[in-house]
Amino acid sequence: MTDLRLVLKSLMARSASTAVTCLLIAIAVALLLSMLSLREAGRRSFTRGVGNAHLVVSGDSSPLVAVLNGLFYANAPRAALPESKVVEITTSFPWAWAIPTQLGDSFRGFPVIATTPQFLEDFEPAPGEPWVFAEGRNIELPFEVVLASGVAAATGLGIGDRLHLTHGMGVGGAPPISAPSVESSMVASVPGPPVDESLEAEADAHDHSHDHAHGHVHADDGEHVHDEVVFEVVGVLEPSGTHHDRLVVTELQGAWFIHAIDRREVAGRALPVSVEDLEAGDRLITGILLRTPVRAGRNSAAVLQGAFDRLRRDPSITVASPSTQVDRLFGIVASLDAVFIALGGGILLSGVISVMLVLWNSMELRRRQIAVLRVIGCPQRRILGLVLTESAIIGLVGAIVGGLLAVGGASLAAGLLAMRTGVVIAPTVDPQATVLIAAGTVALAALAGVAPAIKAYRTPVADNLRPLD
């Protein structure tokens, strides 16, 4: 028999209340750790997801929105830029690369980025980690798509599969891109390969109505399926561990073509037949990803600042530094973080108070046991120590279980976040924070045992040895 065994047996004798109290502490610790873990993981994910782009140019109203839309695919940008702007910007400065992008379409809720093959060659989804093809090849021709790993996994599509894109960013997506009116006398036909019947049927099943007048399948408010054109999967990417894994990458001219059909249909004009029919007014983009050259012995920050200042002079565009905007975003949500952490602390405190109440009440029920311990020679001080050890053990078990719950909970939350928002985070429980929180929990729990311990210390022995009725 040891003191620890005495304490453990005593706790096990009241297994139900011990378990509930430990669980309360565990939930509080798990919440606190999960919040810290997700906060850090979110920060890392956003910072990492910027990739190797130094600047983002768009027609959005603010730099933050430009980054959220252009790099994190939060929504379709509200304004488009003409292709001439790409030419103007790319020729104005010796960029390492400049990649035009067009956002606004989706496939089964996954954002579609229409761009040039350079996107999969030069843009890195995470700094220093270029795209890797799991199978197939890069986009080369209009109406070809490459699926990022998350899309391929979720849809089960692979090389050679065919699909329709949806106008809009999926359920709750943004309205179509605004654009100047276009004029054309060309007649529309279907330039892409014929659609796979099963995919078409599936697309129909997800749609709310069929607008025969426009020849579109409407997917949601302001959204419709571009069922005039069939796209074919030519490549599938390896996971990058970023939100970019939810992308469907297609060739820019194909996207211009399907939007040209939309616009001309609305205007009652002849539809384009092929990409050769596209006019300047059809060639619209929603953003440009830019990277300044980085050379040894040259001040890259100064080069970037110079490029940034030059672009800012153009009032028709918004230019943003992704890393600066991510920092700004975290600055905005920092106070919210503090509120959540304070809430977690409050929950932990309430858990600790519950430890005190449970132990206090148990002292009332265990007066006879305490009296017996005194009879067999247990000093008062040791009674005090035994009760404090009990409360500390409850805190320790709660902290351990809470830590395990946090690991599981954070992974679950990360999965849900990735599924719903596309933000890929890799939550890890910081060992230092975990040790600090666990130590704090044990100390607080032990502190919660002080009042019950004093109560036990003062238990009158003689009064509690009377025969039971």
Partner 1 sequence: MRIPEFSLAADEQVLLAGSSGCGKSTLLLLAAGLLDAASGEILLSGRSITAARGGRRDAIRADRVGMVFQTHHLLPGFTARENVSAPLLFGGVRPGEHAAIADALLGRLGISDPTTRVDRLSVGQQQRVAIARALVGNPSVVFADEPTAALDPENAVKAVELLKDVCRECNAALLLTSHDPGLEAAFSRVVRFTELAGTSEVVG
**Binding to partner 1 by residue 326, rule CB under 8 A?**
no
By CB under 8 A, tell whether 468 contacts partner 1.
yes
Q: How far apart are CA 179 and CA 259, in angstroms?
A: 10
Which of 108, 374 has the CB closer to partner 1?
374
Q: Does 338 bind partner 1 (CB under 8 A)?
A: no
Is 364 a binding residue for partner 1 by CB under 8 A? The answer is no
9 binds partner 1 (CB under 8 A): yes
Three-state SS at 106? strand
Q: What is the three-class DSSP state of 104?
A: strand
Nearer to partner 1, 205 or 468 (CB): 468
Contact 122, 99 (CB under 8 A): yes
Nearer to partner 1, 9 or 312 (CB): 9
CB of 3 to partner 1, least distance (A): 7
Candidates 7, 10, 120, 226: give the one binding partner 1 (CB under 8 A). Answer: 10
- Residue 429 Cβ, how far from partner 1 at the closest point, in Å? 35
- Is 75 in contact with 173 (CB distance < 8 Å)? yes
- Residue with Cβ nearer partner 1 (9 or 208): 9
| Residues 6 or more apart in contact with residue 156 via CB below 8 angstroms | none
Pairwise CA distance, residues 185 & 178, whole Å: 21
* Count, residues near partner 1 per rule CB under 8 A: 28
CA distance linking residue 72 with residue 423, whole number of Å: 8
Site for partner 1 in 12-31 (CB under 8 A): 12-13
Stretch of residues binding partner 1 (CB under 8 A), selected from 144-152, 203-211, 379-387, 446-454: 379-387
Structure tokens at 264: 């001309």
- Of positions 47, 90, 380, 421, contacts partner 1 by CB under 8 A: 380
Q: Which two tokens stand for residue 271?
A: 């539809």
- Which residues pair with residue 110 across a beta bridge? 107
Contact flag: residue 302 with partner 1 (CB under 8 A): no
Other beta carbons within 10 Å of 400: 16
For 135, the enclosing helix (H) or strand (E) is: strand 133-136
Residue 3 interacts with partner 1 (CB under 8 A): yes or no: yes
For partner 1, the closer CB: 379 or 415? 379
Q: How far is the CB of 423 from partner 1 (least distance, A)?
A: 50
- Scanning 9-17, 74-82, 133-141, 330-338 for contacts with partner 1 by CB under 8 A, the matching segment is 9-17
Structure tokens at 319: 């230019």
Among 22, 261, 373, 410, binds partner 1 (CB under 8 A): 373
Specify the DSSP class assigned to residue 286: S
Amino acid at 74: A
By rule CB under 8 A, what string of x and - marks binding of each residue 382-401 to partner 1?
A: x-------------------
Q: For partner 1, give the closer residue by CB, 6 or 270.
A: 6
- The CA distance from 387 to 458, in Å, is 12
Return the bridge partners of 231, or none: 163
Q: Which of residues 244-283 bind partner 1 (CB under 8 A)?
A: none
Among 180, 193, 379, 415, binds partner 1 (CB under 8 A): 379
Q: Which of 372, 418, 426, 433 touches partner 1 by CB under 8 A? A: 372
From residue 143, give the alpha-carbon distance in Å to each of 176, 206, 242: 19, 22, 25
Shortest Å distance, C-beta 7 to partner 1: 11
DSSP class per residue in 176-227: PPB-------PPP---SPPPPHHHHHHHHHH-SEEETTTTEEEEETTEEE-T
Least CB distance from residue 381 to partner 1, whole Å? 7
**DSSP 8-state assignment for residue 466:** S
Residues contributing to the site for partner 1 (CB under 8 A): 1-3, 5-6, 9-10, 12-13, 368-369, 371-382, 461-462, 465, 467-468
